[in-house]
Each structure stands twice: as structure tokens, then as C-alpha cells.
Amino acid sequence: MLTQKQYELLMLIDKRIREAGVPPSFDEMKDALGLKSKSGIHRLISGLEERGFIRRLPHRARALEILKMPENVGRGHAKDAEQTASTLPANVTPENVVRGDFGAKPTPAHTAPDNAPDNTTELPMLGRIAAGTPIEAISDPSSFVDVPPSMLAGGEHYCLEVDGDSMIDAGIFDGDTVVIQKTQRTENGAIVVALVDNEEATLKYIHKKGDKVALEPANPAYETRIFGPDRVQVQGRLVGLIRKY
């Protein structure tokens, strides 16, 4: 059974796909349902996905597909959808008919109710960061994460998903989400997001001594890397961690 808001969102998505060939944007969903923040849309989308009404297409940050409609809607919507698909231009496929302005991963099964108080802060998820060998620099937000305000340290923040095991002795595991305070200055011994040579980003302890910068792992299987100060830029420091079980 769907909640009223879940039903309204599903009807909105279905109507927009049938009329325009694409679902509404994330902001359009929020405004149409009268919600104050995008976190409410996250909860609704997760609830619809858990109940089997929609699914996010894998490896596509902005893709959504309707799998079924509520029984009380009748078959008119499904028939209209088939007719719409049959009249699409040749270069438009069912896969690219479902783009939307969102891409958050499904939340755990114990999601907050649709009418839950909005007492979290929404931070952009900028992608994956290596806790091991550095990877390409992080870039544009692909989704958003709800974070308790008590976890934030003031100023601007963002989130990253950890890829690798070089920080396991610091309690940071592969797949964890780290909360980063955006800053270019930090103290020795802090865990930071370091940008190396303007193209590789990694999560490590930082130590500065003289004209050298050391990026130290928390796993004896990895070596500490030493750089000149002009090769390393601090992009932020670790202030929190989120783990899903």
C-alpha cells in the first residue's frame, strides 16, 4: 500500500513521462508535492522502489523506470505509455526516456516516514575517493546524503564514498560514506582529502614538515607517500562517517 505522497509522486512521474517523454526534475517533484527539501523526495523515491513500483537504472545517475502502477489506476495509463513509446523518434529508446534529475542510491530498509521532521542537512555526494591508491579527482555531485547537523563542524561540507582499505585501522572501511568539511588548511595528523598533482584525490593522514608533505595510510600494507608542497592541495578534512549495515 502506498502513502498519499508516494501515490502522488508516482502519478506525477507517470504523467510527465507519458506527456513529455521524461520524468520531472528533482526540483519539480519537490515543488509539485509541496515539500520543503529534496530529502523528502529521496524518502518517497526509496519507498516506491522498495515496494516495486519504480527502479533506478544501474550505472546511470539520472535514470528512473516505472515497473508497475497501483491497481486502482486501471490499465489506461499502461496503454497510454505503450502508445507513447511506440510513437517516439527512432533515436529515443526506452532507456533514455526515463532520465530524471536525481541519482541517490537506495536508502536502507528502515527509511524515515514521508512526514518525518526534516531535521537533517542535505549534503552533495561528490563521488568515490580512494582510501588506497589515489584515483581521479572528484567532480560534480551525483546525489545527496542526509546528515545529522551534529556531525557538521561549521562552514561548507560534502560527502564521498570510500573506495579501498588503506584507512581501515582508522575505522574507515571500503563503502563507507565520509563527511568532509571543505577547507584548504588543517593541522598535522588530521585525515584529509588531498588532491595530488591536480588530478588524483585520496583520503589520508597528512603530516607537513619543512618543504615536504606526507600522506600516510592507516594500513601497514600501504606505504606513506612524500610530496613537495606544490604537488598537494588539501580539499577538506574528515569530520564524520556514515556506515550502512
The whole-number mean pLDDT for each consecutive block of 10 residues of the chain, a chain of 245 residues, reads: 82 85 81 82 78 72 76 52 36 30 29 47 84 62 80 87 91 92 91 89 92 93 91 92 82
Domain boundaries 123-242, corresponding CATH code = 2.10.109.10
Query: What are the start and end residues of each CATH 1.10.10.10 domain in the chain?
Result: 4-97
- Does the annotation count 86 as an active-site position? no
Residue 186: the pLDDT is 87
164 DSSP assignment: S
> Which residue in 37, 86, 166, 212 is the catalytic one?
166
Residue 75: the pLDDT is 39
> Which residue in 204, 208, 212, 244 is the catalytic one?
204
Domain boundaries 4-97, corresponding CATH code = 1.10.10.10
Residue 50: the pLDDT is 74
Query: What are the start and end residues of each CATH 2.10.109.10 domain in the chain?
Result: 123-242
Residue 133: the pLDDT is 62
Query: Across-strand partners of 200?
Result: 136, 196
Nearest one of 156, 123, 139, 158 to 200, comparing CA atoms: 139
Nearest one of 41, 55, 30 to 116, comparing CA atoms: 41
- pTM given for the model: 0.53
- Does the annotation count 204 as an active-site position? yes
